[in-house]
Structure 1
């Protein structure tokens, strides 16, 4: 065999026959110290790997798998990392509800977008996991789909034919490793996020304003502001996010679609997999410490393409515009009522700028790292636009994605503001013409009997 899978040694081994005939040599153990390995032993490797991860045995033993990631395993690992969670008291829940209602009242006076929250709740870290996991599935599946196939595709054709029915289990290994990373990342993030929209994406149920008292308490310990003011400030940010996500119908789907498109465009560097295969020790699959070391070698690092770079810029710009708008309306709504509003806004900006939980989690899970510099510039643009055209004119920009500022506009906002003052709506006209043309095309295809 010209190419042996996973670094099997093709050289002569004078001790091989001796080990085979020696019952104490461990020759029947596929995880022994010898370098000789039989393809039939793959089943034992994956059985041991399945046992290593509690709750994953059914997958590795050939049980049903609903997708490229074992989300039951991810949930279990996240819950294990969270540990004990004390129930939230009734008074805390009522305080959050009152804070959101007050924030909504104040926001009514500074934005044309109506309230988007239907109820306010207090979440524990476990509640956050339970209520956001479905969205994380949508974000993570495109990446996991690729990772789950790299092991099988790295095998030479001859090895693939020998692996036979075990090949499907091999293709699940990358996805299972991703599930492990997902569980650990979400477990950490669940104790750090302050609200359901803290990372700028609509992760939770629509219209549900959710604050996490435990993380808010940790944040408040290092600040001088009263806890009631901190709570109201965060409630206002949560409510402002929901106004956008509820009343800008294209926003949530475009955000999630952008993340999906970015992830699907990833290219895994197969040379790294092939290099790893040359010296791979199957025993590593049964040793958690070696598995962790293996995952940290960066062999799954995506290689950026020009298309991905452009998609990333669009996504970062949209996230920056959301965060900048939220900061602008919250500062306007609370600035005269809560003296510490500006200081709290700066605390959160620095939290993001220093690589907070959002950046770390996105970088780990989908290779997306936000650039806080654009958030500051976006906030400055929205503030200047408010001064120029008022809150109604500012919020009208959200009517269509083609009306939003571009990345270049964030760097040079004067031209964008001039266009808004001049009433330039060419962008929306072109967008509507294209939408009508697309609808007509879809209609024609639907009426075509050959379609």
Structure 2
């Protein structure tokens, strides 16, 4: 997994995190999920791929966004999802860590990096293992190469069973949300590089002191999964242990606003399409919402510690922003949000959509 530079020495990012260990740890921490006979598992994989393809024209029609055909749908298990994300995080962090190391007079000793890389890998792997049992799907726009639509088959099967909903309807419903994310990025090719730049800039600010590179990287990398999914900017969020200056907090707030937009827009499109193509959508939405709210005390504590409760608020905040803007200026007027980084909503505008309409539409 870890690339080697031309001179044969490991890259700085590989000195600080043992990425293979992180992926293996995630596979151990994350439970395997429902065990299906081989033939049934193959049918689930085929059905999810079919649902993803069927979702595409519906999302394009409702969103008003024109996107090229996808790079394919990758149906994965929990360890596969975790490994895809360790690869993406390594790609995301590599240039930032390399730059930080260039500011050092010398590389840290082998003994120090060997221990530190394993400790940090265990922390990242533990977090990814926890998340791997909860993610239904993801558009991976931040890895090395074309973006991929990932669908986590055991999680989809587990949730549809828990909710006692129609499997075909539920799988299409999930794919409508994830296909919207694919369209957001592929119809607007500037978006992924912009977000990568924002995240790398924030991480780079946290590595100003070369002597603290490993320590800062461990803190930031542990929270990158949640940052890329809209990490909280509220009190008690784990990332704020590392984000300290006003400039850093402002950068995190801008990133959070964009993630709220992306998640809220996907929910709005999914809800708009749903009644037309998913017969049992009202039952699915009702039971899914209750499931979010009805978790046990231990699980809710873990979600708060990881910042996942804040993510649930982002779905609601972003959806309210999208619906109010569309009510005022229509879908075409809303889609001006995708024109450039300058038309993305500012943090205060997520809570005040009229302010965004005034700024962008005059």
TM-score, normalization: structure 1? 0.59
The corresponding residue for 1:78 is: 26
Secondary structure of 1:209 counterpart? strand
The corresponding residue for 2:183 is: 243
Task: Structure 1 unaligned segments of length 5 or more: list them.
Answer: 1-62, 154-163, 273-297, 425-451
Please state how far the C-alpha of 1:244 moved relative to its aligned partner.
0.7
Give the Cα–Cα distance (whole angstroms) in 2 for the partners of residues 231 and 131 of structure 1: 21
Q: Paired residue for 1:343, among 286, 289, 292?
A: 286
Write the mapping of 1:408-427 to structure 2, written as runs, cut at 5 A.
408-420=348-360, 423-424=361-362
Give the Cα–Cα distance (whole angstroms) in 2 for the partners of residues 171 and 119 of structure 1: 38
Give the Cα–Cα distance (whole angstroms) in 1 for the partners of residues 331 and 341 of structure 2: 18
Write the mapping of 1:23-422 to structure 2, written as runs, cut at 5 A.
65-66=10-11, 67=14, 68-82=16-30, 89-115=41-67, 117-139=70-92, 167-197=109-139, 202=142, 206-266=146-206, 302=242, 304-338=244-278, 339-340=281-282, 342-343=285-286, 346=289, 370=310, 372-420=312-360
Give the Cα–Cα distance (whole angstroms) in 1 for the partners of residues 349 and 25 of structure 2: 43
Give the Cα–Cα distance (whole angstroms) in 2 for the partners of residues 248 and 346 of structure 1: 30
Secondary structure of 1:248 counterpart? coil
Q: For the Cα contact (< 8 Å) 2:32–2:78, is it kept in 1?
A: no
- Provide closer, same or farther for how the CA distance between residues 407 and 357 of structure 1 changes in structure 2, counting only shifts above 3 A: same
Secondary structure of 1:206 counterpart? coil
Paired positions, count = 314
Q: For the Cα contact (< 8 Å) 2:51–2:175, is it kept in 1?
A: yes
The corresponding residue for 2:230 is: none
Task: Structure 2 unaligned segments of length 5 or more: list them.
Answer: 1-7, 213-237
Give the Cα–Cα distance (whole angstroms) in 2 for the partners of residues 254 and 230 of structure 1: 32
Please state how far the C-alpha of 1:126 moved relative to its aligned partner.
2.7
The corresponding residue for 2:225 is: none
Please state how far the C-alpha of 1:238 moved relative to its aligned partner.
1.0
Give the Cα–Cα distance (whole angstroms) in 1 for the partners of residues 336 and 107 of structure 2: 57
- Provide closer, same or farther for how the CA distance between residues 214 and 414 of structure 1 changes in structure 2, counting only shifts above 3 A: same
Secondary structure of 2:63 counterpart? coil
Q: For the Cα contact (< 8 Å) 2:17–2:118, is it kept in 1?
A: yes
* Rg (Cα) greater in structure: 1
- Provide closer, same or farther for how the CA distance between residues 141 and 394 of structure 1 changes in structure 2, counting only shifts above 3 A: same
- Provide closer, same or farther for how the CA distance between residues 121 and 146 of structure 1 changes in structure 2, counting only shifts above 3 A: closer
Give the Cα–Cα distance (whole angstroms) in 2 for the partners of residues 185 and 402 of structure 1: 33
Q: For the Cα contact (< 8 Å) 1:397–1:404, is it kept in 2?
A: yes
Give the Cα–Cα distance (whole angstroms) in 2 for the partners of residues 374 and 170 of structure 1: 39
Give the Cα–Cα distance (whole angstroms) in 2 for the partners of residues 106 and 244 of structure 1: 14
Secondary structure of 2:73 counterpart? strand
Give the Cα–Cα distance (whole angstroms) in 2 for the partners of residues 416 and 219 of structure 1: 37
Structure number having the greater helix percentage:
2
- Provide closer, same or farther for how the CA distance between residues 134 and 382 of structure 1 changes in structure 2, counting only shifts above 3 A: same
Query: Please, which moves more after superposition, 310-319 or 411-420?
Result: 411-420
* C-alpha RMSD of matched pairs (Å): 4.1
Query: Please, which moves more after superposition, 393-402 or 122-131?
Result: 122-131
Please state how far the C-alpha of 1:329 moved relative to its aligned partner.
1.2
* Residues 250-302 of structure 1, C-alpha deviations (whole Å, 9 max, x = no match): 211222222222222226999x9xxxxxxxxxxxxxxxxxxxxxxxxx9x953
- Provide closer, same or farther for how the CA distance between residues 141 and 372 of structure 1 changes in structure 2, counting only shifts above 3 A: farther
- Provide closer, same or farther for how the CA distance between residues 301 and 407 of structure 1 changes in structure 2, counting only shifts above 3 A: closer
Give the Cα–Cα distance (whole angstroms) in 2 for the partners of residues 379 and 393 of structure 1: 16
- Provide closer, same or farther for how the CA distance between residues 360 and 261 of structure 1 changes in structure 2, counting only shifts above 3 A: farther
TM-score, normalization: structure 2? 0.71
Q: For the Cα contact (< 8 Å) 2:243–2:249, is it kept in 1?
A: no
- Provide closer, same or farther for how the CA distance between residues 119 and 142 of structure 1 changes in structure 2, counting only shifts above 3 A: closer
Please state how far the C-alpha of 1:135 moved relative to its aligned partner.
0.8
Query: Please, which moves more after superposition, 371-380 or 326-335?
Result: 371-380
